[in-house]
Structure 1
Protein backbone atom coordinates (compact mmCIF):
# COMPACT_ATOMS: atom_id res chain seq x y z
CA UNK A 1 0.00 0.00 0.00
CA UNK A 2 1.43 3.37 -1.01
CA UNK A 3 1.46 5.71 2.01
CA UNK A 4 -1.52 8.09 1.95
CA UNK A 5 -0.19 11.56 2.68
CA UNK A 6 0.75 14.77 0.87
CA UNK A 7 4.53 14.44 0.60
CA UNK A 8 5.13 18.03 -0.49
CA UNK A 9 3.03 19.38 2.37
CA UNK A 10 4.82 17.25 4.96
CA UNK A 11 8.25 17.98 3.48
CA UNK A 12 7.67 21.68 4.08
CA UNK A 13 6.92 20.95 7.75
CA UNK A 14 10.17 19.12 8.51
CA UNK A 15 12.29 22.26 9.11
CA UNK A 16 9.36 23.96 10.89
CA UNK A 17 8.56 21.20 13.39
CA UNK A 18 9.92 21.79 16.90
CA UNK A 19 8.99 20.72 20.41
CA UNK A 20 6.44 23.02 22.05
CA UNK A 21 6.26 22.88 25.84
CA UNK A 22 3.91 25.76 26.68
CA UNK A 23 0.29 25.70 25.41
CA UNK A 24 -2.60 28.10 25.87
CA UNK A 25 -5.02 25.51 27.30
CA UNK A 26 -7.47 25.35 24.39
CA UNK A 27 -8.67 21.98 23.13
CA UNK A 28 -7.93 21.16 19.51
CA UNK A 29 -11.09 21.80 17.40
CA UNK A 30 -12.97 18.85 15.97
CA UNK A 31 -12.21 19.68 12.34
CA UNK A 32 -8.48 19.61 13.07
CA UNK A 33 -8.80 16.29 14.88
CA UNK A 34 -10.75 14.94 11.90
CA UNK A 35 -7.91 16.00 9.61
CA UNK A 36 -5.43 14.13 11.82
CA UNK A 37 -7.54 11.04 12.43
CA UNK A 38 -6.56 9.11 9.25
CA UNK A 39 -2.96 9.07 10.49
CA UNK A 40 -3.78 7.37 13.81
CA UNK A 41 -3.83 3.94 12.18
CA UNK A 42 -2.25 2.15 9.25
CA UNK A 43 -1.91 4.89 6.62
CA UNK A 44 1.10 2.85 5.40
CA UNK A 45 2.17 -0.79 5.57
CA UNK A 46 5.06 0.45 7.72
CA UNK A 47 2.59 1.26 10.54
CA UNK A 48 1.89 -2.39 11.42
CA UNK A 49 1.49 -2.83 15.15
CA UNK A 50 1.08 0.90 15.79
CA UNK A 51 -1.92 3.09 16.52
CA UNK A 52 -2.74 6.41 18.12
CA UNK A 53 -5.65 7.60 20.27
CA UNK A 54 -6.80 11.14 21.06
CA UNK A 55 -7.46 12.07 24.68
CA UNK A 56 -9.02 15.40 25.62
CA UNK A 57 -8.68 17.12 28.99
CA UNK A 58 -5.56 15.02 29.49
CA UNK A 59 -3.00 17.52 30.70
CA UNK A 60 -2.75 15.64 34.01
CA UNK A 61 -0.86 12.87 32.20
CA UNK A 62 2.32 14.94 32.34
CA UNK A 63 4.04 14.41 35.66
CA UNK A 64 7.72 15.18 35.16
CA UNK A 65 10.28 17.46 33.65
CA UNK A 66 10.73 17.29 29.90
CA UNK A 67 14.07 18.35 28.46
CA UNK A 68 16.14 21.34 29.53
CA UNK A 69 13.32 23.88 29.21
CA UNK A 70 10.95 22.69 31.94
CA UNK A 71 7.51 21.15 32.22
CA UNK A 72 4.91 20.83 29.51
CA UNK A 73 2.10 23.18 30.54
CA UNK A 74 -1.36 24.18 29.32
CA UNK A 75 -1.99 20.93 27.45
CA UNK A 76 -5.56 19.77 26.92
CA UNK A 77 -5.35 17.37 23.95
CA UNK A 78 -2.93 14.45 23.85
CA UNK A 79 -2.19 11.71 21.33
CA UNK A 80 -1.32 8.38 22.94
CA UNK A 81 0.87 6.08 20.82
CA UNK A 82 0.28 2.38 21.44
CA UNK A 83 2.26 -0.58 20.12
CA UNK A 84 1.25 -4.20 19.64
CA UNK A 85 4.26 -6.05 21.02
CA UNK A 86 3.31 -9.22 19.12
CA UNK A 87 4.43 -7.39 15.95
CA UNK A 88 8.26 -7.39 15.82
CA UNK A 89 8.48 -4.01 14.08
CA UNK A 90 6.03 -2.17 16.33
CA UNK A 91 8.62 0.36 17.56
CA UNK A 92 9.69 1.55 14.12
CA UNK A 93 6.01 1.54 13.15
CA UNK A 94 5.22 3.84 16.07
CA UNK A 95 8.02 6.22 15.15
CA UNK A 96 6.78 6.37 11.56
CA UNK A 97 3.10 6.76 12.48
CA UNK A 98 3.69 9.21 15.31
CA UNK A 99 5.88 11.51 13.26
CA UNK A 100 3.25 11.45 10.52
CA UNK A 101 0.70 12.76 13.02
CA UNK A 102 3.18 15.42 14.14
CA UNK A 103 4.07 16.64 10.65
CA UNK A 104 0.40 16.89 9.71
CA UNK A 105 -0.37 18.70 12.97
CA UNK A 106 2.43 21.14 12.19
CA UNK A 107 0.82 21.83 8.81
CA UNK A 108 -2.38 22.80 10.68
CA UNK A 109 -0.53 25.32 12.83
CA UNK A 110 -0.56 23.14 15.95
CA UNK A 111 2.29 22.68 18.39
CA UNK A 112 3.49 19.20 19.38
CA UNK A 113 5.98 17.51 21.66
CA UNK A 114 7.02 13.83 21.72
CA UNK A 115 7.14 12.55 25.31
CA UNK A 116 8.13 9.16 26.73
CA UNK A 117 8.61 8.18 30.34
CA UNK A 118 7.56 11.46 32.00
CA UNK A 119 3.80 11.03 32.29
CA UNK A 120 1.30 9.07 34.35
CA UNK A 121 1.69 5.60 32.86
CA UNK A 122 -0.99 3.83 34.91
CA UNK A 123 -3.72 6.33 34.09
CA UNK A 124 -2.82 6.30 30.41
CA UNK A 125 -2.81 2.51 30.28
CA UNK A 126 -6.18 2.20 31.99
CA UNK A 127 -7.82 4.51 29.45
CA UNK A 128 -6.53 3.29 26.12
CA UNK A 129 -4.91 -0.18 26.15
CA UNK A 130 -7.12 -2.87 24.59
CA UNK A 131 -5.22 -6.15 24.93
CA UNK A 132 -2.44 -7.97 26.76
CA UNK A 133 0.00 -7.36 23.90
CA UNK A 134 -0.51 -3.61 23.76
CA UNK A 135 1.90 -1.16 25.33
CA UNK A 136 1.81 2.62 25.64
CA UNK A 137 5.16 3.73 24.25
CA UNK A 138 4.86 7.51 24.04
CA UNK A 139 2.43 10.40 24.05
CA UNK A 140 2.37 13.65 22.14
CA UNK A 141 1.18 16.98 23.48
CA UNK A 142 -1.05 18.66 20.91
CA UNK A 143 -2.43 22.18 20.91
CA UNK A 144 -1.94 25.88 20.34
CA UNK A 145 1.37 27.35 21.53
CA UNK A 146 1.12 29.88 24.35
CA UNK A 147 2.26 33.42 23.65
CA UNK A 148 5.51 32.86 25.52
CA UNK A 149 6.21 29.87 23.28
CA UNK A 150 6.03 32.24 20.34
CA UNK A 151 8.90 34.25 21.81
CA UNK A 152 12.05 33.27 23.61
CA UNK A 153 11.13 29.69 24.46
CA UNK A 154 10.37 28.92 20.81
CA UNK A 155 13.77 30.30 19.82
CA UNK A 156 15.50 28.23 22.50
CA UNK A 157 13.67 25.12 21.33
CA UNK A 158 14.75 25.65 17.74
CA UNK A 159 18.33 26.25 18.82
CA UNK A 160 18.26 23.05 20.85
CA UNK A 161 16.93 21.12 17.87
CA UNK A 162 19.74 22.30 15.60
CA UNK A 163 22.45 22.05 18.25
CA UNK A 164 24.89 19.14 17.97
CA UNK A 165 23.25 17.65 14.90
CA UNK A 166 25.55 15.05 13.43
CA UNK A 167 27.00 16.00 10.04
CA UNK A 168 25.89 14.04 7.00
CA UNK A 169 29.16 12.10 6.84
CA UNK A 170 28.50 10.80 10.38
CA UNK A 171 25.08 9.38 9.52
CA UNK A 172 25.59 8.24 5.91
CA UNK A 173 28.13 6.28 3.91
CA UNK A 174 28.43 3.82 1.08
CA UNK A 175 28.85 5.37 -2.35
CA UNK A 176 31.04 8.48 -2.58
CA UNK A 177 28.88 11.58 -2.19
CA UNK A 178 29.42 12.64 -5.80
CA UNK A 179 27.93 9.30 -6.91
CA UNK A 180 24.75 9.57 -4.87
CA UNK A 181 21.56 9.51 -6.96
CA UNK A 182 19.82 12.86 -7.45
CA UNK A 183 17.84 13.97 -4.42
CA UNK A 184 19.40 11.53 -1.95
CA UNK A 185 21.44 14.17 -0.16
CA UNK A 186 18.32 16.30 0.36
CA UNK A 187 16.43 13.25 1.67
CA UNK A 188 19.27 12.53 4.10
CA UNK A 189 19.21 16.15 5.25
CA UNK A 190 15.52 15.68 6.05
CA UNK A 191 16.33 12.51 8.01
CA UNK A 192 19.06 14.41 9.83
CA UNK A 193 16.39 16.76 11.22
CA UNK A 194 14.37 13.90 12.71
CA UNK A 195 13.87 14.17 16.48
CA UNK A 196 15.26 11.45 18.73
CA UNK A 197 15.51 10.70 22.44
CA UNK A 198 18.14 12.98 24.05
CA UNK A 199 19.13 13.97 20.50
CA UNK A 200 21.09 10.72 20.11
CA UNK A 201 20.38 10.32 16.36
CA UNK A 202 20.98 6.53 16.42
CA UNK A 203 20.76 5.96 12.66
CA UNK A 204 23.09 5.26 9.77
CA UNK A 205 22.21 5.29 6.06
CA UNK A 206 24.19 3.19 3.58
CA UNK A 207 23.78 4.62 0.07
CA UNK A 208 24.03 2.30 -2.93
CA UNK A 209 23.15 2.64 -6.60
CA UNK A 210 19.87 0.78 -6.17
CA UNK A 211 18.77 1.94 -2.73
CA UNK A 212 19.51 3.19 0.77
CA UNK A 213 19.72 0.97 3.87
CA UNK A 214 18.89 2.37 7.31
CA UNK A 215 20.47 0.71 10.36
CA UNK A 216 20.66 1.32 14.10
CA UNK A 217 24.02 2.59 15.31
CA UNK A 218 25.52 1.17 18.50
CA UNK A 219 24.09 -1.29 21.04
CA UNK A 220 20.37 -1.72 21.53
CA UNK A 221 19.40 -2.44 17.93
CA UNK A 222 17.08 -5.38 18.62
CA UNK A 223 13.33 -5.51 18.09
CA UNK A 224 11.51 -3.44 20.72
CA UNK A 225 14.44 -1.08 21.25
CA UNK A 226 13.59 2.60 21.68
CA UNK A 227 16.31 3.33 19.13
CA UNK A 228 14.12 1.65 16.54
CA UNK A 229 11.36 4.16 17.34
CA UNK A 230 13.85 6.97 16.65
CA UNK A 231 14.81 5.26 13.39
CA UNK A 232 11.15 4.97 12.41
CA UNK A 233 10.94 8.77 12.62
CA UNK A 234 14.05 9.17 10.45
CA UNK A 235 12.65 6.59 8.04
CA UNK A 236 9.53 8.72 7.52
CA UNK A 237 11.53 11.94 7.08
CA UNK A 238 13.65 10.28 4.37
CA UNK A 239 10.57 8.86 2.63
CA UNK A 240 8.66 12.16 2.73
CA UNK A 241 11.60 14.03 1.22
CA UNK A 242 12.19 11.37 -1.41
CA UNK A 243 8.57 11.46 -2.56
CA UNK A 244 8.45 15.26 -2.52
CA UNK A 245 11.60 15.34 -4.67
CA UNK A 246 10.25 12.80 -7.16
CA UNK A 247 12.40 9.82 -6.10
CA UNK A 248 10.43 6.64 -6.76
CA UNK A 249 10.91 3.89 -4.20
CA UNK A 250 9.58 2.01 -1.19
CA UNK A 251 10.90 1.00 2.21
CA UNK A 252 11.25 -2.73 2.85
CA UNK A 253 11.61 -3.48 6.57
CA UNK A 254 14.59 -5.56 7.71
CA UNK A 255 15.69 -7.33 10.88
CA UNK A 256 18.25 -6.04 13.42
CA UNK A 257 20.64 -4.31 13.30
CA UNK A 258 19.02 -2.97 10.12
CA UNK A 259 15.67 -1.19 10.06
CA UNK A 260 14.83 -1.06 6.38
CA UNK A 261 15.99 -0.58 2.83
CA UNK A 262 14.57 2.08 0.51
CA UNK A 263 14.65 0.41 -2.90
CA UNK A 264 14.76 2.87 -5.78
CA UNK A 265 12.14 2.48 -8.49
CA UNK A 266 9.90 0.13 -6.52
CA UNK A 267 7.11 2.61 -5.82
CA UNK A 268 3.55 1.75 -6.83
CA UNK A 269 2.05 3.90 -9.56
Structure 2
Protein backbone atom coordinates (compact mmCIF):
# COMPACT_ATOMS: atom_id res chain seq x y z
CA UNK A 1 0.00 0.00 0.00
CA UNK A 2 1.58 3.25 -1.16
CA UNK A 3 0.97 6.76 0.11
CA UNK A 4 -0.64 7.83 -3.18
CA UNK A 5 -3.92 8.67 -1.41
CA UNK A 6 -1.97 11.06 0.86
CA UNK A 7 -0.23 12.80 -2.01
CA UNK A 8 -3.43 13.45 -3.97
CA UNK A 9 -4.94 16.00 -1.56
CA UNK A 10 -4.66 15.23 2.14
CA UNK A 11 -6.11 18.63 3.15
CA UNK A 12 -9.26 17.86 1.18
CA UNK A 13 -9.63 14.54 3.03
CA UNK A 14 -9.15 16.31 6.37
CA UNK A 15 -11.87 18.79 5.45
CA UNK A 16 -14.24 16.07 4.22
CA UNK A 17 -13.84 13.80 7.25
CA UNK A 18 -16.86 13.83 9.54
CA UNK A 19 -18.53 11.60 12.10
CA UNK A 20 -21.09 9.30 10.49
CA UNK A 21 -23.62 7.81 12.90
CA UNK A 22 -26.42 6.67 10.57
CA UNK A 23 -25.53 3.96 8.06
CA UNK A 24 -27.21 2.09 5.24
CA UNK A 25 -28.15 -1.39 6.43
CA UNK A 26 -25.97 -3.23 3.94
CA UNK A 27 -22.56 -4.85 4.35
CA UNK A 28 -19.34 -3.53 2.91
CA UNK A 29 -18.54 -4.76 -0.58
CA UNK A 30 -15.92 -7.47 -1.04
CA UNK A 31 -13.68 -4.94 -2.77
CA UNK A 32 -13.91 -2.46 0.09
CA UNK A 33 -13.28 -5.14 2.72
CA UNK A 34 -10.17 -6.26 0.86
CA UNK A 35 -8.87 -2.68 0.56
CA UNK A 36 -9.38 -2.12 4.28
CA UNK A 37 -7.55 -5.33 5.17
CA UNK A 38 -4.70 -4.50 2.79
CA UNK A 39 -4.43 -1.05 4.34
CA UNK A 40 -4.35 -2.43 7.88
CA UNK A 41 -1.57 -4.85 6.98
CA UNK A 42 0.62 -1.83 6.15
CA UNK A 43 -0.58 0.38 9.01
CA UNK A 44 2.17 2.18 10.88
CA UNK A 45 2.95 5.13 13.11
CA UNK A 46 6.06 7.27 13.69
CA UNK A 47 6.26 6.35 17.40
CA UNK A 48 7.30 2.75 16.65
CA UNK A 49 4.53 1.31 18.84
CA UNK A 50 2.62 -1.72 17.57
CA UNK A 51 -1.12 -1.10 17.22
CA UNK A 52 -3.44 -4.02 16.46
CA UNK A 53 -6.78 -3.74 14.67
CA UNK A 54 -9.73 -6.10 14.79
CA UNK A 55 -12.22 -6.11 11.90
CA UNK A 56 -15.56 -7.04 13.46
CA UNK A 57 -18.04 -7.94 10.75
CA UNK A 58 -21.64 -9.17 10.52
CA UNK A 59 -22.71 -7.77 13.88
CA UNK A 60 -26.44 -7.58 14.48
CA UNK A 61 -27.81 -4.57 12.62
CA UNK A 62 -31.06 -4.60 14.59
CA UNK A 63 -29.38 -3.70 17.88
CA UNK A 64 -27.48 -0.72 19.23
CA UNK A 65 -24.78 -3.09 20.42
CA UNK A 66 -22.54 -1.28 22.85
CA UNK A 67 -23.14 2.18 21.40
CA UNK A 68 -25.93 3.55 23.60
CA UNK A 69 -28.10 3.93 20.51
CA UNK A 70 -25.79 6.55 18.99
CA UNK A 71 -24.92 4.40 15.93
CA UNK A 72 -27.71 3.26 13.60
CA UNK A 73 -27.54 0.63 10.86
CA UNK A 74 -23.85 -0.34 11.13
CA UNK A 75 -22.98 -4.04 10.89
CA UNK A 76 -19.18 -3.74 10.83
CA UNK A 77 -16.73 -2.16 13.27
CA UNK A 78 -12.99 -1.64 13.48
CA UNK A 79 -11.50 -1.72 16.95
CA UNK A 80 -7.91 -0.99 17.95
CA UNK A 81 -5.82 -2.21 20.86
CA UNK A 82 -2.31 -1.41 22.02
CA UNK A 83 -0.03 -2.63 24.79
CA UNK A 84 0.10 -0.09 27.59
CA UNK A 85 3.32 1.92 27.58
CA UNK A 86 4.95 5.23 26.53
CA UNK A 87 3.15 6.91 23.60
CA UNK A 88 0.80 3.92 23.27
CA UNK A 89 -2.38 5.99 23.13
CA UNK A 90 -0.78 8.55 20.83
CA UNK A 91 0.27 5.77 18.44
CA UNK A 92 -3.23 4.29 18.42
CA UNK A 93 -4.81 7.70 17.87
CA UNK A 94 -2.42 8.33 14.97
CA UNK A 95 -3.11 5.01 13.23
CA UNK A 96 -6.86 5.11 13.71
CA UNK A 97 -7.14 8.64 12.31
CA UNK A 98 -4.88 7.67 9.41
CA UNK A 99 -7.24 4.76 8.70
CA UNK A 100 -10.28 7.04 8.86
CA UNK A 101 -8.79 9.52 6.39
CA UNK A 102 -8.05 6.65 4.03
CA UNK A 103 -11.67 5.52 4.33
CA UNK A 104 -12.82 9.05 3.49
CA UNK A 105 -10.95 8.64 0.20
CA UNK A 106 -13.07 5.50 -0.39
CA UNK A 107 -16.39 7.16 0.59
CA UNK A 108 -16.70 4.89 3.62
CA UNK A 109 -18.13 6.42 6.78
CA UNK A 110 -16.61 6.18 10.27
CA UNK A 111 -17.12 7.70 13.72
CA UNK A 112 -14.58 8.00 16.53
CA UNK A 113 -15.97 6.27 19.63
CA UNK A 114 -13.95 6.48 22.83
CA UNK A 115 -16.32 7.29 25.66
CA UNK A 116 -19.58 6.39 23.92
CA UNK A 117 -19.34 2.63 23.62
CA UNK A 118 -19.59 -0.22 26.11
CA UNK A 119 -16.28 -2.07 25.95
CA UNK A 120 -17.69 -5.20 27.53
CA UNK A 121 -20.07 -5.70 24.58
CA UNK A 122 -17.14 -5.79 22.14
CA UNK A 123 -14.42 -7.23 24.35
CA UNK A 124 -14.98 -10.91 23.52
CA UNK A 125 -14.86 -10.27 19.77
CA UNK A 126 -11.85 -7.97 20.18
CA UNK A 127 -9.76 -10.53 22.13
CA UNK A 128 -7.94 -8.02 24.35
CA UNK A 129 -4.84 -9.57 26.03
CA UNK A 130 -3.82 -8.70 29.58
CA UNK A 131 -1.89 -5.44 29.72
CA UNK A 132 -3.48 -4.05 26.55
CA UNK A 133 -5.67 -0.99 26.18
CA UNK A 134 -8.90 -0.96 24.15
CA UNK A 135 -9.68 2.77 24.04
CA UNK A 136 -11.52 3.26 20.75
CA UNK A 137 -13.65 1.70 18.05
CA UNK A 138 -15.39 2.92 14.91
CA UNK A 139 -18.32 1.69 12.85
CA UNK A 140 -17.52 1.37 9.15
CA UNK A 141 -20.06 1.48 6.37
CA UNK A 142 -21.94 3.57 3.87
CA UNK A 143 -23.53 6.77 5.11
CA UNK A 144 -27.31 6.96 5.01
CA UNK A 145 -28.52 10.22 3.54
CA UNK A 146 -31.43 10.56 5.96
CA UNK A 147 -30.01 11.11 9.46
CA UNK A 148 -31.58 9.77 12.62
CA UNK A 149 -32.83 12.17 15.31
CA UNK A 150 -30.13 10.83 17.64
CA UNK A 151 -27.47 11.59 15.03
CA UNK A 152 -28.62 15.18 14.65
CA UNK A 153 -28.87 15.65 18.41
CA UNK A 154 -25.39 14.24 19.09
CA UNK A 155 -23.87 16.42 16.37
CA UNK A 156 -25.54 19.49 17.89
CA UNK A 157 -24.36 18.68 21.41
CA UNK A 158 -20.81 17.81 20.31
CA UNK A 159 -20.61 20.95 18.15
CA UNK A 160 -18.54 18.87 15.75
CA UNK A 161 -18.28 21.66 13.19
CA UNK A 162 -16.73 24.15 15.62
CA UNK A 163 -13.01 24.52 16.21
CA UNK A 164 -10.91 26.79 18.42
CA UNK A 165 -9.26 29.81 16.76
CA UNK A 166 -5.79 29.25 15.30
CA UNK A 167 -4.17 31.69 17.73
CA UNK A 168 -5.39 29.73 20.77
CA UNK A 169 -3.69 26.52 19.68
CA UNK A 170 -0.35 27.37 18.08
CA UNK A 171 2.57 29.39 19.44
CA UNK A 172 6.05 30.59 18.55
CA UNK A 173 9.01 30.55 20.97
CA UNK A 174 6.74 30.72 24.05
CA UNK A 175 3.10 30.23 25.00
CA UNK A 176 2.86 34.00 25.29
CA UNK A 177 3.11 34.52 21.52
CA UNK A 178 0.72 33.03 18.96
CA UNK A 179 2.21 31.60 15.78
CA UNK A 180 1.70 34.12 12.95
CA UNK A 181 -0.60 32.47 10.43
CA UNK A 182 0.36 33.50 6.92
CA UNK A 183 -0.70 32.68 3.38
CA UNK A 184 1.72 30.57 1.35
CA UNK A 185 3.38 29.37 4.56
CA UNK A 186 3.71 25.59 4.69
CA UNK A 187 3.92 25.44 8.47
CA UNK A 188 0.73 27.50 8.77
CA UNK A 189 -0.99 25.01 6.47
CA UNK A 190 0.19 22.03 8.54
CA UNK A 191 -0.98 23.68 11.75
CA UNK A 192 -4.35 24.40 10.17
CA UNK A 193 -4.66 20.67 9.39
CA UNK A 194 -4.12 20.00 13.09
CA UNK A 195 -6.76 22.59 14.01
CA UNK A 196 -9.33 20.76 11.89
CA UNK A 197 -8.73 17.45 13.65
CA UNK A 198 -11.50 15.71 15.60
CA UNK A 199 -11.20 15.31 19.38
CA UNK A 200 -13.24 13.94 22.26
CA UNK A 201 -16.07 16.39 23.04
CA UNK A 202 -14.30 18.74 20.62
CA UNK A 203 -11.92 19.80 23.43
CA UNK A 204 -8.89 20.09 21.10
CA UNK A 205 -6.40 19.45 23.92
CA UNK A 206 -3.33 20.00 21.74
CA UNK A 207 -1.04 23.01 21.94
CA UNK A 208 1.85 23.23 19.50
CA UNK A 209 4.94 25.32 20.14
CA UNK A 210 7.25 26.20 17.24
CA UNK A 211 10.73 26.70 18.67
CA UNK A 212 14.37 25.86 17.86
CA UNK A 213 13.73 24.01 14.59
CA UNK A 214 11.03 21.87 16.14
CA UNK A 215 7.26 21.69 16.53
CA UNK A 216 6.62 20.61 20.10
CA UNK A 217 3.33 18.90 20.97
CA UNK A 218 1.79 19.58 24.38
CA UNK A 219 -1.35 18.23 25.98
CA UNK A 220 -3.57 20.90 27.48
CA UNK A 221 -5.41 18.56 29.82
CA UNK A 222 -9.04 19.17 30.68
CA UNK A 223 -9.24 18.72 34.47
CA UNK A 224 -11.12 15.55 35.50
CA UNK A 225 -12.06 14.75 31.87
CA UNK A 226 -10.34 11.35 31.94
CA UNK A 227 -11.36 10.39 35.49
CA UNK A 228 -13.84 7.78 34.20
CA UNK A 229 -11.07 5.90 32.37
CA UNK A 230 -8.00 3.97 33.58
CA UNK A 231 -5.90 6.10 31.19
CA UNK A 232 -5.73 9.65 29.86
CA UNK A 233 -8.15 9.41 26.93
CA UNK A 234 -7.13 12.85 25.65
CA UNK A 235 -3.78 11.42 24.60
CA UNK A 236 -5.66 9.78 21.71
CA UNK A 237 -6.39 13.30 20.50
CA UNK A 238 -2.68 14.14 20.52
CA UNK A 239 -2.16 11.14 18.24
CA UNK A 240 -4.81 12.54 15.89
CA UNK A 241 -3.03 15.91 15.91
CA UNK A 242 0.29 14.21 15.11
CA UNK A 243 -1.36 12.26 12.29
CA UNK A 244 -2.75 15.36 10.59
CA UNK A 245 0.55 17.22 10.91
CA UNK A 246 2.63 14.24 9.73
CA UNK A 247 0.45 13.32 6.74
CA UNK A 248 0.61 16.94 5.62
CA UNK A 249 4.38 16.89 6.01
CA UNK A 250 4.62 13.66 3.99
CA UNK A 251 2.43 15.15 1.25
CA UNK A 252 4.93 18.02 0.97
CA UNK A 253 7.98 15.72 1.09
CA UNK A 254 9.26 17.01 4.43
CA UNK A 255 11.87 14.69 5.94
CA UNK A 256 11.39 15.53 9.61
CA UNK A 257 10.95 12.98 12.37
CA UNK A 258 9.18 12.56 15.70
CA UNK A 259 11.21 12.21 18.88
CA UNK A 260 10.90 12.82 22.60
CA UNK A 261 13.27 15.41 24.04
CA UNK A 262 14.90 14.88 27.41
CA UNK A 263 13.28 18.03 28.77
CA UNK A 264 10.36 20.22 27.80
CA UNK A 265 11.30 23.22 25.59
CA UNK A 266 8.90 25.30 27.68
CA UNK A 267 8.09 25.22 31.38
CA UNK A 268 5.21 22.83 32.07
CA UNK A 269 2.27 23.28 34.40
CA UNK A 270 -0.18 20.89 36.05
CA UNK A 271 -2.45 20.82 33.01
CA UNK A 272 0.09 21.57 30.26
CA UNK A 273 2.36 18.59 29.59
CA UNK A 274 5.04 18.13 26.94
CA UNK A 275 4.69 14.86 24.96
CA UNK A 276 6.82 14.81 21.81
CA UNK A 277 8.48 16.87 19.08
CA UNK A 278 8.52 16.91 15.29
CA UNK A 279 12.05 17.91 14.35
CA UNK A 280 11.95 20.00 11.18
Distance 1:64 1:95 in 2: 22
**CA-atom RMSD in angstroms:** 3.1
The gaps in structure 1 that reach 5 residues or longer are 66-70, 265-269
2:78 is matched with 79
| Partners of 1:99 and 1:233 within 8 A in 2 | yes
Structure 2: distance between partners of 1:208 and 1:179: 17
Aligned position for 1:43? 44
Question: Judging changes above 3 Å, is the alpha-carbon distance between structure 1 residues 253 and 144 closer, same or farther for their aligned structure 2 residues?
Answer: farther
Corresponding residue number in structure 2 for 1:183:
186
TM-score by length of 2: 0.79
> What does residue 211 of structure 1 align with?
214
Distance change in 2, residues 1:260/1:5 (3 Å): farther
Using the size of structure 1 for normalisation, the TM-score is 0.82
2:32 matches 1:32:
yes
Whole-Å Cα distance in 2 between the matches of residues 8 and 157 of structure 1? 30
3-state SS of 2:111 partner: strand
Q: Distance in 2 between matches of 1:219 and 1:198?
A: 11
Residue number in structure 2 paired with 1:109:
107
SS at match of 1:12: helix
**Matched residue SS, 2:209:** strand
1:236 counterpart (243, 256, 262): 243
> Is the helix fraction higher in 1 or 2?
1
Deviations 1:163-198 (A, max 9, x none): 2x1111111101552799940100010000110000
Is residue 248 of structure 1 aligned with residue 260 of structure 2? no
| SS of the residue 1:14 aligns to | helix
The runs of 5 or more residues in structure 2 that have no matched partner are 174-178, 265-272
